[in-house]
Amino acid sequence: MRLIFFLIKKHLKVLLNNISCPEKLTCYPAEKQKSKLRIFFDNLAWLLRFHHANEYYYLWGFDRKNYEQYKQKYINGKICRKVINRKKRELCPNFESYDIIIHDKFIASQYIESLGFPVPKTIALINNNSILLPKSGKELPLDCLLTEKKRIFRDCICKPVADEKGHGVFHLKIKRGSLFLNNNRFEFRQLPNLFSSSKYIIQERVIQHKNMAALNPHCVNTIRLVTCIHKGDVVPFSAVVRIGRKGNITDNWDTGGIFVGVDIEKGCLKKDGFTMEINVGKRYEIHPETAIKFHGYKIPFCNQAINLAVKLHKYFYCTHSIGWDIAITPKGPVFIECNQGWSPYTHLLVEDNFMDKFREMFSGKQVASQSHHGTVAGNEIP
């Protein structure tokens, strides 16, 4: 019952926010906007049809008066995931048995490294109050973090092995005898408590290429590249660069990161970046903190990153589509993570022809797509 009230409150808040001040919320102030009455009925129809408020209404530009001229359409998230899983099942009926290879960050990292592809160096795995050192095979008690003189975790990134969207990730650094958690001083005696609630993979911190650091120096800004198995071969599907903000150590959407589309052919950023700030979408052409203009900004080693991801996907032969998180270092690409449950929403934001590409890569049974006003346009995917 509490959950029901929470969801009702949440969706009513989004609905009221969407219809309150459309002129302030629009992400496209230079374009003519629909009337407030039309915006109200848009949002009401959406709520009645899909049973949730549309928090991406302004991000997708549904408030634009001339929205019909754009190819971009909305895909219902649940339906999209069903289509993605259907393609996985067509490729491999027991695909769930293989998902652990991707879903568990420690297993995925060890597997990718064993194939000779670049990944951050794994320092340790923390499990059941023990520190497991994969290179030496040693096992140490968690309490040794307080007494170990060499300080195993001198400068590292700590990630729960199974969490997603950057949740639970933190940076540990020891400098001049002091411990810092996400650049804030932290007590050594509290260190074991950080790892008491989950299994963690501890990896060396990646030093990114200076051109990637120029976008935002506070975290590693990564390429999110989706590759698919199409007609028996692996091909790149869609790519964005995720850029951190406000001193956060992750670049994820859920932590305020900006997503900018990548021109795969040219290896550079597209014009617009998108983010969500307290349930309000924002569109940027220039990073609000570093003042870097996105359009045409070259991504170093971009083609190499794409080619490596295509080659690596061939070893994940039972997964139809994978979302790769790739860092760019001075020496080239490094695979940070891989995701079988990638989200189409961010790619939809940056690609007007997303639906056309989705139809081509995920062809098969019917997929419902929705027009700007939220009504169902039952498109049969050829």
DSSP string covering 65-124, please?
TTGGG----EE-HHHHHHHHHHHHHHH-TTTHHHHHHHHSHHHHHHHHHHTT---PPEEE
- SS3 for 49? helix
35-61 confidence digits (pLDDT tens)? 999 999 988 888 888 788 888 888 888
Q: What mean pLDDT value characterizes the chain? A: 83
Q: What is the DSSP letter of 293?
A: B
Q: And the tokens for 256?
A: 């305020």
How confident is the model at residue 125, as a pLDDT? 94
CA dist., res. 348 & res. 346, Å (int): 5
pLDDT at residue 373, as a whole number? 37
pLDDT attached to residue 382: 32
Architecture of domain 77-118+208-379: 2-Layer Sandwich (3.30)
Residues 229-236 have a mean pLDDT of 92
If pLDDT is split at 50, 70 and 90, which confidence band does 270 have? very high
Residue 378 confidence (pLDDT) above 50: no
Q: In this predicted model, which residue has the larger pLDDT, 50 or 290?
A: 290
Q: With 50 as the cut, is the pLDDT of residue 374 above it? A: no
User: Which pLDDT tens digit goes with each residue over 165-215?
Assistant: 667 888 888 877 788 888 888 887 787 788 877 899 999 999 999 999 999
Nearest to 200 by CA among 128, 132, 126: 126
Does 67 score more than 90 pLDDT?
A: no
Question: CA angle 95-322-204, nearest 5°?
Answer: 110
Looking at residue 86, its pLDDT comes to 87
Mean pLDDT computed over 3-17: 69
Res. 328: pLDDT tops 90: yes
Domain ranges of the chain: 2-70, 77-118+208-379, 122-204
At 221, the pLDDT band (50, 70, 90 cuts) reads very high
